[in-house]
A and B are shown apart, each in its own frame.
Chain A
Amino acid sequence: MITLDIQNLEAKIGDKQILNGLNLQLEAGKVHAIMGPNGAGKSTLSKAIVGHYDVAIVGGDIFYKGKSIKEMEPEERALEGIFLSFQHPVEIPGVNNAYFLRTALNAKRKHEGKEELNAAEFLRLMRTHLEELGMKPDMISRSLNEGFSGGEKKRNEILQMLVLEPDVIILDEIDSGLDIDALRAVSEGINKMKDGKRSFLVITHYSRILDYIEPDYIHVLKDGQIVKTAGPELVAQLEEEGYDGIIVNE
């Protein structure tokens, strides 16, 4: 089953066209890794999927569970089950992390016709997830991402993912700035979400994260297009030959 179907997508940031007719299908229960050189359009792709204001879609379409999401607001896409773990999560002083998470979770529950969680129920849920991610309990009582280290920010992204239980998970350079322990904890959190139904789109520069989150497909993105798709064996080839080698051979 296809969860996300990107068809001939063309997107601009400002006047510059970044995506040039990109085609990509994410399968349910599969991990898709996108690799590519700097400036290939990896982050633009993730932004286009979640409806970031920087990106203007000028051609093609994005279908989520068969429905076009091109005109949907970012919050509508999130409520439908699309989640982006940001490369650089923004700090928001004054917004309590727990309050933010509970607001987001209850917005989703309301959207799904479920009852909202009260503070006690929410805290119980949090305790479990915090332990799983090796996060200090005080992190949810602090302001959202304020003063968090790089690793703490990424763990907080994964915490949100665990709480919101999305169906399509986009991880934009989740490994950047992480030490080995943090990388392991974050990867375990991600692997826990694999349930055979969710789709993962792992955007990365380096193969290191793919030692922890085993991909089913590797897509190489260059000049705003997917230029090669293969199985996990492509990682080793990329390590050996680099992007230029792979693309030239194609």
Chain B
Amino acid sequence: MKLSDLNEKTLEAIAGKKSKALEKFLSMGLPSKKSEAYRYFNVENLLDNEYETLEYVPKSIEVGEQIEIVDGVVTTAPQGMRIYYEACDQIDDDHFDPLYYLGHALYPQTIKIEVDGDAELKLLHRFTKSNALINYRIVLFNQANRHATVYETFDAKGIENTLVMYGYDMHIAKDSSFRLFKVQTMQEQNYSMIASHKINVAKQATTMYKSFDLGGDQALQLIKIDLGERAHIDAQHLLYLNEQSKRGTVSQIIHKGEHSTSNQEAKNILDGDARGIFDALIKVEETAKYTKAYQNSKAILLHEKAYMISKPQLEIYIDELEAAHGSTTGQLDPKQLFYLRSRGISAIEARKMLVIAFANTMLETIRDTRHQELIRAEFEKVFYAHAKELS
């Protein structure tokens, strides 16, 4: 199947019936270079590829330490986890990403995960098929007044030319706190990913979304976040890219409720010919008086061919708020480099120290030291594997 060949008739044949998601997708059409969300991402190349489509046949779920989803099917989960396959009845009405709707339309049966009580979950996505379109969506609920953490990782060894389209519809319950740590290391020519998320943060809930996107290949995370009254999102994105990689974040944080707060920060380290994307809008609606919204992107280019697209944006419809945004792109600070070298540290080692330091300022915000150490180790592994080329 080629996604670029899809039309109303073929989609209806695949989906079985005309759903709301399908109608929304048809009204928006396939993304292209002209689409706002995909302007800086070569989505057309991905849509033009021929992919094998998969059958998503639910299997019995074995008991394991973590939730494991293999090629879109849950295979293991901790004892007592509530996981179902069912149609999503709360699809967002106004997502900016047509592929959010296409994902729902192509396979309406979503993986529904109910996080029970205070919980810490590990979620591993494993991809094993080459030349495949792997498409699945996860609907995630947590409970009010509870605290949950999801630590999400990805594994795909020995495959090539696969496109993964996945995403969350998260419903963060009122008065709860929820933290998601996403750590994704990708290899060149392994698989590409379009991850289209919707996160609804209910009244007085606090959500943390921290993504650590490392390595190569093509991937884009498109996130729409709705904030209710006194809801808070802390979104942080660390990007370390090398070679020909094109990856990044396109996001919309919509302040809908009064006293809602958001803090979004991106740190981007780009080596080789990599292109990083941070195209992020914070919108404060008329109903969201007394909002506080902060957004910042910093990028370090380690190679003359590396390129960062940074577009922090604020769209504000009220006066009663605090908001600020900013963006900087540059190279390693020559004063800092010289300081380290003046103490006998080699130029190459000094550069490595400064790159790690730049990442550290984000890694150190992870309060749980176990998570912090795991993510730091992954970052350093990927970085040092490519750092030999630093000069």
Residue numbers of A with Cβ under 8 A of B are 50-53, 73-75, 78-79, 84, 86, 89-90, 92-95, 100, 103-104, 107-108, 111, 143, 160, 164
Contact A111 B338 (CB under 8 A): no
User: Do A93 and B357 have beta carbons less than 8 Å apart?
Assistant: yes
Which 7 residue pairs of A and B lie closest in terms of their CB atoms, listed nearest first?
A94-B357, A94-B360, A78-B344, A104-B343, A74-B341, A95-B357, A75-B341
Q: Which of B336, B343, B346, B358 is within 8 Å of A160, CB to CB?
A: B343
- Answer whether A79 and B344 are a contact pair too, CB < 8 Å, given A74-B338, A86-B339: yes
A107 touches B357 (CB 8 A): no
Contact between A95 and B338 (Cβ–Cβ < 8 Å)?
Answer: no
Cα–Cα, bound, A111→B353 (Å): 19
Q: Are A92 and B346 in contact (CB under 8 A)?
A: no
The verdict on B356 contacting chain A, using a C-beta distance below 8 Å, is yes
* B341 x A78 contact (CB < 8 A): yes
Instruction: Determine the distance from Cα of A84 to Cα of B357 in the docked complex, in whole angstroms.
Output: 23
Q: Taking the complex as formed, is B340 at the interface, i.e. its CB lies under 8 A from any CB of chain A?
A: yes
Q: Chain B residues near A50 (CB, 8 Å)?
A: 342
Q: Quick one: which of B79-129 are within 8 Å of A by CB?
A: none
How many angstroms from the CA of A100 to the CA of B360 in the assembled complex? 14
- Minimal Cβ-Cβ distance residue in A for B335: A90
Q: How far is the CA of A53 from the CA of B361 in the complex (A)?
A: 27
Chain A residues, Cβ within 8 Å of B360: 93-95
Contact A94 B335 (CB under 8 A): no
**B357 pairs with A75, CB closer than 8 A:** no
Residues of B within 8 A of A74 (CB): 338, 341-342
Note all chain B residues with C-beta closer than 8 A to A92.
336, 339-340, 354, 357
B340→A100 contact, CB < 8 A: yes
The one of B339, B347, B349 that contacts A90, using a Cβ cutoff of 8 Å: B339
Please report the C-alpha to C-alpha distance between residue A123 and residue B335 in the assembled complex, in whole angstroms. 27
| Residue in A89, A94, A164 whose CB lies within 8 Å of B361 | A94
Tell me the complex Cα distance, A70–B125, Å.
56
Contact of B342 among A78, A103, A108, A111 (CB under 8 A): A78
Residue in A closest to B348 when the chains form the complex, CB atoms: A75
Query: Which residues 139-156 of B sit at the A interface, judged by CB distance below 8 A?
Result: none
Name the distance in Å between B44's Cβ and chain A's nearest Cβ: 38
Report how far A92 CA is from B355 CA in the complex, Å.
11
Closest to A84 in B: B342
- The minimal Cβ–Cβ distance linking A109 to chain B, given in whole angstroms, is 10
A104 touches B345 (CB 8 A): yes
CA distance A84 to B347 in the complex (A): 17
Distance, CA A114 to CA B334, complexed state (A): 30
Kindly list chain B residues whose C-beta atoms are within 8 Å of the C-beta of A104: 340, 343-345
A27 to chain B, nearest CB (A): 23
Residues of A within 8 A of B339 (CB): 86, 89-90, 92
Q: Which residues of A contact B343 (CB under 8 A)?
A: 75, 78, 100, 104, 107, 160, 164
- Do B336 and A94 touch across chains, with their CB atoms under 8 A apart? no
> Does B299 sit within 8 A of A, measured CB to CB?
no
- Min Cβ gap B176→A in Å is 32
B344 touches A111 (CB 8 A): yes
* With A50-B342, A75-B344, A78-B341: A94-B358 Cβ-Cβ less than 8 Å: yes
Whether a CB of chain A sits under 8 angstroms from the CB of B364 is yes
Report how far A94 CA is from B354 CA in the complex, Å.
Answer: 8
Contact B345 A75 (CB under 8 A): yes
Shortest Cβ distance from B364 into A: residue: A94
Cβ of B353 and Cβ of A100 under 8 Å apart?
yes
Taking a contact as CB atoms under 8 Å apart, the answer to whether B361 and A75 are in contact is no
Find the residue from A50, A52, A79, A95 having the highest chain B CB count within 10 A.
A95
Known: A90-B335, A103-B349. A164 touches B340 (CB 8 A): no
**Whole-angstrom distance between the alpha carbons of A143 and B356 in the complex?**
12
**CA separation between A83 and B390, bound complex, in Å?**
26
Contact of B346 among A53, A75, A95 (CB under 8 A): A75
**CA of A160 to CA of B343, assembled, Å:** 8
- Please give me the residue from chain A that is nearest to B346 by CB atom: A75
Closest residue of chain A to B333 (Cβ to Cβ) is: A90
7 contacts between A and B (CB under 8 A): A73-B347, A75-B342, A78-B344, A90-B336, A94-B357, A94-B359, A95-B353
Tell me the complex Cα distance, A79–B350, Å. 14
Instruction: Give me 17 other A-B pairs in contact (C-beta within 8 A), A90-B339, A94-B356, A108-B344 excluded.
Output: A53-B334, A73-B341, A74-B342, A75-B341, A79-B344, A89-B339, A92-B357, A93-B357, A94-B359, A95-B357, A100-B340, A100-B343, A103-B345, A103-B349, A104-B340, A107-B344, A107-B349
